[in-house]
């Protein structure tokens, strides 16, 4: 694994450092990029994905983020060229995603669980990320240990998306100690967040 330390670097330096490491590859390799802000996560992730990398990211602590890029080899010369010096603004809009179940739609439960996993992954691919994602009732299980969507949710959190799960729901399901991403919230905050949203998306 190659580590790119871009802690303390302002845009576009994290992108440039990462791009340089990618161009020096001679075969399949994993690149770890360390940055200290959400905008850098967004910019590096966008560039790496456009260059053919498989990208995941997570928040390790306050002002401490880790991006992992799996590459099959060096990108083509044109790939990601535009993003090398581009500093996109905060890619979060005033959208709130509300998830109230661990499955999507009605009918077959197994299919519903496949669909909700696909839905959350699709959120990670939006050009404009949501500001907040709210999880309550059965949806609370998706932010806890064992969830198939944890990797995607951690990636969203690393890019500044606020992940909030209903505390009453976690208590009801006995999951309060198993919350693995985001923070615990209450019904007042849930209502306040939804009331202030520019738009609300429900799977």
Nearest-CA neighbor of 164 among 131, 196, 202? 131
Last residue of a domain, one of 34, 62, 84: 84
Per the domain annotation, does 90 fall within a domain?
no
130 and 46 within one domain: no
Domain membership flag for residue 177: yes
Helical segments of 24-101, H only: 38-50
Paired strand residues for 183: 164
- Band (pLDDT 50/70/90 cuts) for residue 11 is confident
Domain end: 84, 117, 149, which one?
84
Rounded Cα–Cα distance for residues 100 and 203 (Å) = 9
pLDDT of residue 93: 83
pLDDT at 13 over 90: yes
All residues at 6 or more sequence positions from 8 whose CB lies less than 8 Å from its CB, including other chains:
36
Domain region containing 17: 2-84
pLDDT value for 82: 47
Q: Read off the pLDDT band of 172 (50, 70, 90).
A: very high
pTM reported for the whole predicted model: 0.77
Q: How many CB atoms lie within 10 A of CB 173?
A: 14
The residue assigned the tokens 């940055």 is 35
Calculate the alpha carbon distances from 117 to 6, 55, 76 in Å: 31, 17, 31
Whether residue 132 is predicted with pLDDT greater than 90 in this model: the reply is yes
Q: Mind telling me the catalytic residues?
A: 11
b/e for 116-152, b at 16 or more Cβ within 10 A? Answer: bbebbeebbeeeebbbbbbbbeebbbbbbeebebbbb
**What does the pLDDT read at residue 90?**
79
């Amino acid at each position: 694994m190659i580590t790119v330390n871009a802690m303390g670097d302002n845009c576009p330096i994290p992108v440039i450092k990462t791009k340089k490491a990618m161009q020096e590859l001679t075969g399949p390799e994993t690149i770890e990029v360390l940055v200290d802000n959400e905008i850098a996560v967004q910019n590096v992730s966008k560039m790496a994905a456009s260059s053919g990398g498989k990208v995941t990211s997570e928040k390790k602590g306050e002002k401490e983020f880790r991006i992992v890029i799996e590459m099959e080899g060096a990108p083509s010369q044109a790939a990601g060229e535009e993003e090398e010096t581009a500093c996109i603004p905060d890619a979060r809009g005033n959208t709130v995603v509300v998830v109230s179940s661990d499955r999507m739609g009605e009918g077959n439960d197994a299919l519903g669980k496949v669909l909700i996993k696909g839905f959350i992954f699709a959120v990670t691919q939006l050009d404009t990320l949501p500001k907040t994602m709210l999880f309550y009732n059965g949806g609370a299980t998706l932010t806890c240990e064992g969830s198939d969507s944890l990797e995607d949710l951690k990636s969203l959190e690393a890019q500044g998306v606020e992940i909030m799960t209903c505390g009453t729901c976690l208590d009801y399901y006995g999951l309060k100690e198993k919350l693995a991403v985001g923070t615990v919230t209450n019904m007042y905050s849930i209502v306040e967040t939804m009331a202030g949203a520019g738009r609300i998306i429900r799977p």
